[in-house]
C-alpha cells in the first residue's frame, strides 16, 4: 500500500486505472497530465505495442495536499486492457491504494467490462485483498457515443457495491477530474485513518 518517506516527509499513494482494452484509461491519464501544472507533476511514461495502446503502465506522480505534516504524492497507473496481459495487470495492481474502474459504455463492450471487472476482483483476491477493502470508484466512459448502454443498466451490471460512480467522455475531458478527485478523496480519507 502507501509508502512513507520520512526523510522527504512524503506519503506516496498508488492509484490504478483498471478496465477493458481501449475503454479510456490512458485517455484519462493523458487528460489529467495535460491539465496539471508542470511544477506538480512528474514524467508520463507510456509503453505501447502493436496490439494495445498501453502495454504496461502510465506513470505520473502528482503532489496534492498534506496529511499530518506529510506531503502526499499520487502515482497514477493504468493496467493493460487485454486479458492475455494478466500477469502485467497483477503486477500493476499490487500495492494499489485506490482504483478507478473505467467501463466502456458502448453496448458491444458490456461483456468486456464485466469480464475485466471480475478479473480485477480475482487479481485482488489473489493478493489477499477484497475490492471492499480498497477505495475505488467507477467511471462510465464514452457516454458521448451512439449505441451506449443506458446508465441504469451499466450501473446494475458493474456497481453492485454502490461506490461513487461518474459518467464521462474522457476524450474531451468530461468527468475525468470528477472521477479522479473522488478516488483521491477516498484514498486520503483512508490514509488519514491509518
- Residue 100 pairs in a beta bridge with 17, 137
Structurally, the chain folds into a number of domains equal to 1
152-192 pLDDT, tens digit each: 999 999 999 999 999 999 999 999 999 999 999 999 999 88
Look-up: residue for cell 502507501? Answer: 2
For 193, phi then psi, to 5°, come to -65, -35
Which domain does 126 fall in, by range?
Answer: 3-193
Asked whether the beta carbons of 182 and 137 are under 8 A apart, the reply is yes
The CATH number given to whatever domain includes residue 141 is: 3.40.50.300
107-161 pLDDT, tens digit each: 999 999 999 999 999 999 999 999 999 999 999 999 999 999 999 999 999 999 9
Q: Where do runs of H (alpha helix) occur along 84-165?
A: 86-93, 110-126, 151-158
Q: Where do runs of H (alpha helix) occur along the chain?
A: 25-35, 86-93, 110-126, 151-158, 176-193
| Distance (Å, whole) CA 155 – CA 147 | 16
Look up the pTM and report it.
0.92
Amino acid at each position: 500500500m502507501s509508502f512513507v518517506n520520512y526523510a522527504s516527509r512524503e506519503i506516496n499513494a498508488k492509484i490504478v486505472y483498471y478496465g477493458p482494452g481501449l475503454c479510456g484509461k490512458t485517455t484519462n491519464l493523458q487528460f489529467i497530465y495535460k491539465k496539471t501544472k508542470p511544477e506538480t507533476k512528474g514524467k508520463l511514461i507510456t509503453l505501447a505495442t502493436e496490439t494495445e495502446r498501453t502495454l504496461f503502465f502510465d506513470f505520473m506522480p502528482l503532489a496534492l495536499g498534506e496529511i499530518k505534516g506529510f506531503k502526499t504524492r499520487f502515482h497514477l497507473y493504468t493496467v493493460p486492457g487485454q486479458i492475455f496481459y494478466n500477469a502485467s495487470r497483477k503486477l500493476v495492481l499490487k500495492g494499489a491504494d485506490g482504483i478507478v474502474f473505467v467501463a466502456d459504455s458502448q453496448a458491444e463492450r458490456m461483456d468486456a467490462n464485466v469480464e475485466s471487472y471480475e478479473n480485477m476482483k480475482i487479481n485482488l483476491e489473489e493478493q489477499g485483498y477484497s475490492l471492499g477493502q480498497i477505495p475505488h470508484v467507477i467511471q462510465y466512459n464514452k457516454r458521448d457515443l451512439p449505441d451506449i448502454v443506458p446508465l441504469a443498466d451499466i450501473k446494475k451490471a458493474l456497481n453492485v457495491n454502490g461506490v461513487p460512480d461518474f459518467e464521462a467522455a474522457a476524450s474531451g475531458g468530461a468527468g475525468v477530474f470528477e472521477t479522479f478527485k473522488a478516488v483521491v478523496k477516498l484514498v486520503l480519507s483512508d490514509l488519514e485513518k491509518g
